[in-house]
Structures are given as C-alpha cells and as structure tokens.
C-alpha cells in the first residue's frame, strides 16, 4: 500500500480544515441560552457535592505491626522485703520492765543484755520458797524420830529367839518326863507282881509306886513349864509386831512431807529460772529493727519487746493469687521495678509456701493468696526491712516469637480470637490462634504473618471490608 504524505499540524491546509469542521458543527448544534448553561453547571455541582458528602469516609484507626521478638509472660504483684533471719525477743517472765536504752538501728552482739526486768519480787519469792522448803524438811525429820530404834527391833527379835530356845528345852524335858513316867509304871507293875509271888518285900513295891507318882508330878510340872515358855514366845512375837507397826505408822506422814518438799523444790526451780530470765539477752548478732516496748512498764511473760536481724540479708515475700501461684516454679526470674528510668533489679524464686491464706482485696473481695519467697540476685543495698516493691515474676520466656499487640485481638466466638488486618485501605477480619500472652502482647500461632498491619483497639464501627485510614 502506498503511503500518503502527512501534513504537519500547523500547516495552512490543516488550519483551514479545522476551521471548516467547527463551522459545520456550529451550524448543526443549536445554541443554548447562558442562564440554562448556568443552571446545568449548578445542578452538576450540587450532585457532586451530595455524592461527596454522603459517601462513607474512611475510619481513622490506630494500627500496629506483627513482628518477631522476645516475649515474656509474667505474674505482676506487690510484695515486700523481709529480713531473712529475724529474732523477736520477748519477756521471759512477768515483771516490771526497765526502760530499754537501745534505739532502732543500734548494733547488738550475741549474748548482749538488751532488756532487764526488775528481779526483786522474784528474789523475794525465791527466799520464801527456800524457807518453806527448810520447814518441810525439818518436820519430816521430826516424823522420822517417832520410829522405833533399830536396836529395839533387834532386841525384840533376840527375845523371841531366847524364848523359842527355852520353849524347845522345856519340850525336851516334857518328853524326858513322859519316858521316866512310863518306866516308873513298868517298875511298879513288876514290883506288884514280884511282891505277890513273895519275891520282894512290900517296901520295894511301895518305893516303886512312890517313884511312879513322883514321875507323874514331874511330867505335869514340865508340861506347865513348856506351856509357859510357849506363852513367852508369843509375848515376844507380839511385842515385835507392835514395834513393826510403830515402824510403818509414820510412813503416810513421810509421804505427805515428801510431796510438799517435791512441790516446793519444783516451785523453787521455776522461781530461780524466772529470776535468771530477768536479764534478757540477744540470741544473735545483728541490728535492732523495731522496739515494741521501750518505756518502763509492767509486762507479762511472752510480751514482744524488740526485734533484731541483719538488714543486709533480705528476701522477698510476694503474695499472689493461688491460681497464679500454680504457674510459678522455683528458679523463676523476678524483676523488681525501680521506676521507668532505672533498670529493674533481678531476683529469683526460692520457695512457694505450701499453704494459702485468705486476704480481702481493696475492692472488698475475699481472695485466696499464696506467699512466694524470693532471693536477691542483684545487690539489695537500696532496700531495708519491710519495703514495698512491685515485681514481675517471669513464668515463661521465648525468643524470636511471632507476636502481636494484645489490644488488637478480640473474641469472635466462644473460643476463637480474631483481628483486623489492613489491606489496600480496607479492614480484613482474620481468625487467629494464640499461645502465650502477657498484658501487652500475645504469641501468634496462626492467622497472621510477620510485617502485617493490624488495627489496635477495634470498635463496633469497624467491620470486614470497611475503608480505614491511619
């Protein structure tokens, strides 16, 4: 195809053709009045203004960024410092306490007298108990003199033995006398027989009969003597029994006095112990932390007087909710807040007390709380005893964790979390899954990516697909 030559835009022919075209258009288009043109322009402006006014404007929002970094989950609580080895020194007895000359902060050493109780009333009681004890012992000794002497008892036993010996001798004589009487009877019978035969004279028979009568009387006499000796034995035995009863009669009195003496000795021991406790000594070296009773006054046994301890050996006592205590383990890090411009001090959990206690919160709610005991890692020189501290107990810590601000998350169902992501100026709702979280950030398991922009503090005005700006 042959190409035709093109004319330049500014050529005379081109200008003539353009002028002819405009004239033809002007001839074909009817001319509008000026007022009508103005009304049309005003109508178009009003329509544009209405569209502009009623068109939804983008919602102004605050945004954050999903990023990776370190995440710590902590239990925030209040606690106080406490001297680890604290000694509360109390009055050891009732009495009048002398004024304590120590002041709080003074240094004391182990075994040093820190307080005194007037010992005069106790010393008087000791002297009274000693006098009463001496009286009971003297009366007991007097009761002991009422017993028969051992020599008297021995004489009574000897008398019994002598009477028994005489009784045996008398019984032997009775046996001999019976034997002699039997022999005399046989002699008499023989003499009577021989006399009847004429073998012996009458005189021999009479002598035999007389001998028999004599032996019979001798037997009676020996029997009476034996009975008398037996009675003597009984009398001696009865006398010994009387002496033995007299020996045991004072026993009950001795038991009474022994009981009184034992009671007085126990009372005396107690009084001496209380008198020795009128000087109150420090059980350990340390510093006076608090004086409960400084002025002179009457105190009872067990009244706290002062507390001592080493303020350089401090520990932390942090009470937390029992539900939070279940998350805490020995060895967890503790950060002690010293202010926004000061680096927190570090400590660690040493022990979780096994028993909880009831505490009423500032709102009047009863709560079960547990004491957490911690040890300082950094120096505790800036603290004293019973200082209030605000701490964070780290229960979990992660590195390079994908995390998002907690203020961007909201519940979208009973168990799911959601967030609004900004894409092309519009809010897009995402369902997400989180793991660990603290008061400001949460670990993202799924649903968000690193670097995405999310809306903070989403309100009811924000919905999926709405235009937003920030």
**150 vs 170: CA distance, rounded Å:** 30
> Residues with Cβ < 8 Å from 433, sequence gap 6 or more?
416, 417, 444, 445, 446, 447
What CATH number is given to the structural domain containing 298? 2.40.50.100
Q: In this structure, is residue 190 part of a structural domain?
A: yes
Asked if residue 142 is part of any domain, the answer here is no
From the CA atom positions of the chain, what is the Rg in Å?
A: 63
315/301 same-domain check? no
DSSP letter string over 80-102? Answer: EEEESS-EEEE-SSSEEEPPP--
* N-term to C-term CA, the chain: 60
How many whole angstroms separate alpha carbon 457 and alpha carbon 361? 29
**Are both 292 and 210 inside the same structural domain?**
no
Are residue 163 and residue 224 in the same domain, yes or no?
yes
Per-residue pLDDT, 324:
93
| End-of-domain residue from the set 397, 412, 443 | 397
Query: What secondary structure does DSSP assign to 226-284, as a single string?
Result: HHHHHHHHHHHHHHHHHHHHHHHTTHHHHHHHHHHHHHHHHHHHHHHHHHHTTEEE-SS
Nearest to 133 by CA among 266, 274, 255, 265: 265
What's the CATH number where 370 sits?
2.40.30.170
**Do 298 and 323 have their domain in common?**
no
We report the CATH number of the domain holding residue 449 as 2.40.420.20
One domain, residues 240 and 153:
yes
In a shared domain, residues 324 and 366: yes
Indicate whether 185 belongs to any domain: yes
Q: Choose one of 397, 416, 434: the last residue of a domain.
A: 397
Let me know whether 333 and 384 are in one domain: yes
161 and 242 together in one domain: yes
pLDDT at residue 433, as a whole number: 92
Per-residue HEC secondary structure of 135-161 comes to: HHHHHHHHHHCCCCCHHHHHHHHHHHH
In a domain, 122, yes or no: no
C-alpha of 149 from chain center: 63
The CA distances from residue 136 to 147, 247, 458, in Å, are 18, 21, 94
Domain of 332, in residue numbers:
74-83+310-397
User: According to the model, what pLDDT value does residue 239 have?
Assistant: 74
Q: Output the tens digit of pLDDT for each of the chain's 470 residues.
A: 333 344 444 444 444 444 454 455 444 445 557 677 777 877 787 777 666 656 667 889 999 999 999 999 999 999 999 999 999 999 988 888 999 999 999 999 999 999 998 887 777 888 888 888 888 888 777 766 666 667 777 887 888 888 888 888 888 888 898 888 898 888 888 888 888 887 888 888 888 888 888 888 888 888 888 888 888 888 878 877 766 666 665 666 777 778 888 888 888 888 888 788 888 999 999 999 999 999 999 999 899 999 999 988 999 999 999 999 999 999 999 999 988 778 899 999 999 999 999 999 888 999 999 999 999 999 888 898 999 999 999 999 999 999 999 999 998 876 689 999 999 989 999 999 999 998 899 999 999 999 999 999 998 888 888 888 88
Does one domain contain both 154 and 229?
Answer: yes
| Total count of domains within the chain | 5
* Domain-located, residue 264: no
- The verdict on residue 381 lying in a domain is yes
Residues 465 and 402 in one domain: yes
pLDDT of the residue at 107: 94
Beta strands in 406-465 (DSSP E): 410-411, 417-423, 426-437, 441-446, 453-456
Domain match, 176 and 245 both: yes
Q: Can you spell out the DSSP letters for 183-199?
A: HHHHHHHHHHHHHHHTS
Q: In terms of domains, do 337 and 349 share one?
A: yes
**263 inside domain:** no
Cα 242 from chain centroid? 66
Residue 351 lies in a domain: yes
């Amino acid at each position: 195809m042959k190409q035709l030559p093109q004319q330049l835009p500014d050529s005379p022919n081109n200008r003539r053709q353009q002028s002819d075209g405009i004239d033809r258009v002007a001839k074909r288009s009817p001319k509008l009045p000026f007022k009508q043109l103005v009304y049309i322009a005003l109508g178009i402006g009003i329509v544009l203004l209405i569209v502009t006014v009623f068109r939804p404007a983008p919602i102004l929002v605050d945004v954050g960024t999903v990023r990776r970094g370190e995440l710590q989950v902590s239990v925030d609580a209040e606690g106080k410092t406490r001297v680890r080895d604290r000694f509360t020194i109390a009055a050891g007895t009732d009495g009048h306490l002398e004024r304590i000359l120590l002041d709080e902060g003074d240094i004391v050493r182990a075994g040093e007298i820190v307080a005194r109780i007037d010992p005069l009333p106790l010393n008087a009681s000791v002297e009274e108990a000693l006098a009463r004890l001496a009286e009971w012992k003297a009366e007991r000794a007097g009761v002991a003199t009422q017993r028969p002497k051992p020599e008297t008892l021995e004489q009574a036993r000897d008398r019994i033995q002598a009477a028994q010996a005489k009784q045996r001798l008398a019984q032997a004589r009775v046996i001999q006398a019976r034997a002699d009487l039997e022999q005399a009877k046989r002699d008499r019978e023989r003499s009577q027989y021989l006399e009847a035969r004429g073998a012996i004279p009458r005189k021999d028979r009479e002598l035999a009969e007389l001998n028999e009568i004599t032996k019979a009387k001798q037997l009676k006499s020996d029997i009476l003597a034996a009975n008398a000796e037996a009675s003597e034995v009984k009398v001696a035995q009865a006398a010994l029994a009387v002496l033995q009863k007299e020996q045991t009669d004072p026993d009950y009195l001795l038991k009474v006095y022994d009981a009184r003496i034992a009671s007085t000795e126990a009372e005396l021991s107690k009084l001496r112990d209380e008198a020795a406790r009128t000087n109150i000594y420090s059980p350990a070296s340390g510093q006076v932390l608090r004086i409960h009773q400084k002025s002179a006054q009457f105190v009872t046994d067990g009244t706290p007087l002062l507390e001592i301890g080493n303020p350089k050996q401090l520990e932390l006592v942090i009470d937390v909710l029992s539900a939070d205590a279940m998350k805490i383990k020995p060895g967890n890090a503790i950060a002690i807040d010293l202010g926004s411009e000061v680096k927190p001090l570090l400590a660690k959990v040493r022990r979780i007390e096994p028993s909880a206690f009831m505490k009423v919160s500032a709102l009047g709610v009863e709560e079960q709380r547990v004491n957490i005991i911690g040890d300082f890692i950094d120096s505790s020189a800036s603290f004293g005893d019973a200082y209030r501290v605000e701490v964070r107990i780290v229960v979990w810590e992660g590195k390079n964790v994908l995390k998002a601000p907690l203020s961007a998350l909201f519940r979208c169902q009973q168990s799911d979390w959601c967030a609004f992501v900004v894409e092309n100026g519009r809010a897009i709702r995402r369902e997400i899954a989180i793991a660990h979280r603290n008061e400001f950030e949460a670990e993202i398991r799924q649903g968000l990516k690193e670097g995405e922009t999310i809306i903070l503090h989403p309100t009811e005005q924000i919905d999926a697909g709405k235009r937003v700006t920030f």
